[in-house]
């Protein structure tokens, strides 16, 4: 089957997390679902390197362009649910199940996690984007009011991973699947 002509990314169907993998391999049973994603909050930002043009005397045409180092790409999303396991992963808390009490430690944690985003289906096709190695920090957004909700805002900086046998580093992968989650074979017939 040839590559689909209409492929879009529309909405979050599912978001999961697991321990990060610098090799780009996460066990199937290691993934845990993140529920209560704040509406419209998932943002993936690809940062570009700053460019400096070196002009030639008496001309507007640059002789050369030099690119600096860009900040790492980021993912940011809000979560309304305060699942103790996910909160502990993000903050490194002390949770006491007998009293459902979470104690937040004085030192903020940087959580090294993998994230997997499954988009909603668009014309029978959806994508699964896997970010194997991120450093995530958490903050809060929104006031606690009678008609408002406070969300945990997770900002994850994407880090490189290198699968076994590869000679290059990667940032993330994006896979096309059918609505049922079956990988799409785009090989030429």
**Amino acid 33: pLDDT:** 97
Tens of pLDDT along 126-181? 999 999 999 999 999 888 888 878 899 999 999 999 999 999 999 999 999 988 88
pLDDT of residue 2 exceeding 60, the answer is: no
Tens of pLDDT along 43-64? 988 877 777 777 777 777 777 7
In a domain, 59, yes or no: no
How far apart CA 81 and CA 108 sit, in angstroms, is 20
Q: The whole model's pTM is what?
A: 0.84
Name the domain count of the chain.
1
How far apart CA 42 and CA 9 sit, in angstroms, is 12
In a domain, 55, yes or no: no
Start-to-end C-alpha separation, the chain: 6
Where b means 16+ CB within 10 Å and e means fewer, 132-167 reads bbbbbebeeeeeeeeeeeebbbbbbbbbebeeeeee
**Amino acid 7: pLDDT:** 65
In a domain, 2, yes or no: no
In a domain, 147, yes or no: yes
Indicate the average pLDDT of the chain. 88
How far apart CA 175 and CA 24 sit, in angstroms, is 14
In a domain, 4, yes or no: no
Q: Output helix, strand, coil percentages for the chain, rounded to the nearest 5.
A: 5, 45, 50
Domain of 107 in residue numbering reads as 10-48+68-178
In a domain, 107, yes or no: yes
In a domain, 18, yes or no: yes
By C-alpha distance, which of 173, 139, 141 is closest to 156? Answer: 139
Question: Residue 67 CA to chain centroid, in angstroms?
Answer: 25
In a domain, 56, yes or no: no
């Amino acid at each position: 089957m040839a590559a689909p002509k209409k492929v879009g990314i529309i909405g979050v169907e599912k978001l999961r997390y697991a321990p990060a993998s610098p090799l780009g391999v996460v066990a199937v049973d290691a993934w845990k679902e993140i529920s209560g994603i704040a509406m419209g909050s998932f943002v993936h930002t690809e940062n570009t390197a700053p460019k400096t043009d070196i002009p030639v005397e008496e001309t507007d045409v640059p002789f050369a362009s030099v690119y600096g180092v860009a900040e790492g790409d980021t993912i940011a999303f809000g979560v309304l649910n305060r699942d103790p396991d996910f909160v502990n992963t993000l903050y490194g808390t002390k949770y006491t199940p007998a009293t459902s009490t979470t104690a937040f430690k004085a030192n903020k944690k940087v959580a090294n996690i993998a994230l997997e985003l499954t988009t909603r289906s668009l014309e029978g096709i959806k994508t699964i984007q896997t970010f194997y190695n991120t450093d995530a920090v958490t903050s809060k957004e929104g006031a606690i009011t009678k008609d408002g909700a406070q969300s945990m805002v997770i900002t994850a900086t994407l880090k490189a991973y290198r699968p076994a046998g590869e000679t290059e580093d990667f940032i993330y992968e994006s896979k096309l699947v059918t609505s049922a989650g079956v990988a799409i074979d785009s090989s030429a017939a």
